[in-house]
């Protein structure tokens, strides 16, 4: 059984409430994640440079190239193990991470050993950025309001790199990042317009409420006056009895 079998909806911790629709859902490309987040190429270059330096030192000491390469095999083994571990981690993170955009929020489901989900309402997002790469993949960092905080360590690698004090959640290494950014931008605009409309409606209602109250008070006063006039006027029976 999958560790995510408990999810009522793939990538979401619960069913969407009525009126909320899913606009986009995707996951990071693990190959891009391996390069951009786990720096597999950088690690390979680092070990390659170390091995060349070791070969140069051994050859300078009078050791033959064949023996120097044999004595450097342990570094090749260490490099392959390190690159293999990093690649496996990238695959696991890519497999366990799901990004969801609804018309009200962004949801990031992540976690290899302990699955978690973070809901980011649109009202908590001040702005969103976009960084694309030549292969079309890219990152979309989210700048949150000061009242909203996320943990850099817990959410890594789904955060903008090197932003520790004011961590920014990020849709990382996603394919067709420009298209996803357009979907998110449209959802943010629609949500902002809806909130503005609700605020305007609430303001209008609050402005009309005192007027309605005054109108009801005036009508009640007039009704009381009319009732008093009726009680003071002689009824037909009394007029006939005089």
Mean pLDDT across 100-118: 92
- Output the CA torsion 192→15→30→187 (10° steps): -10
99 touches 10 (CB < 8 A)? no
Q: Reply yes or no on whether the pLDDT at 207 is more than 90.
A: no
pLDDT in tens, 156-180: 999 999 988 889 999 999 999 999 9
Mean pLDDT across 34-52: 94
Mean pLDDT across 136-154: 92
List the domain boundaries for the chain. Answer: 22-182
Q: Is the dihedral of CA 217, 222, 227, 231 positive or negative?
A: positive
What pLDDT is recorded for position 72?
A: 80
Residue 73: pLDDT band by 50, 70, 90 thresholds?
confident
Q: For residue 210, what are the CA distances in angstroms to 200, 205, 224?
A: 17, 9, 21
């Amino acid at each position: 059984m999958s560790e995510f079998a408990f999810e009522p909806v793939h990538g979401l911790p619960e069913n969407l409430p009525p009126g909320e629709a899913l606009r986009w859902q995707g996951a990071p490309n693990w190959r891009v994640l391996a390069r951009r987040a786990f720096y597999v190429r950088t690690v390979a270059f680092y070990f390659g440079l170390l091995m060349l330096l070791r070969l140069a030192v051994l050859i300078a000491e009078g050791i033959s190239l064949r023996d120097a390469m044999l004595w450097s095999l342990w570094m090749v083994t260490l490099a392959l193990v390190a690159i293999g571990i990093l690649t496996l981690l990238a695959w696991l993170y890519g497999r366990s991470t799901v990004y969801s955009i609804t018309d009200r929020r962004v949801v990031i489901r992540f976690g290899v050993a302990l699955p978690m989900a973070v809901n980011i309402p649109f009202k908590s997002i001040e702005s969103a950025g976009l960084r694309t790469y030549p292969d079309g993949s890219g990152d979309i960092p989210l700048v949150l309001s000061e009242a909203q905080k996320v943990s850099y360590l817990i959410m890594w690698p789904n955060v903008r790199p090197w932003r520790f004090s004011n961590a920014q959640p990020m849709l990382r290494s996603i394919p067709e990042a420009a298209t996803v950014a357009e979907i998110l931008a449209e959802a943010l605009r629609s949500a902002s317009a809806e909130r503005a409309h609700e605020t305007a409606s609430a303001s209008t209602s609050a402005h009309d409420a005192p007027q309605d109250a005054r109108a009801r008070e005036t009508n009640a006063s007039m009704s009381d006056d009319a009732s008093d006039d009726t009680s003071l006027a002689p009824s037909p029976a009394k007029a006939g009895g005089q």
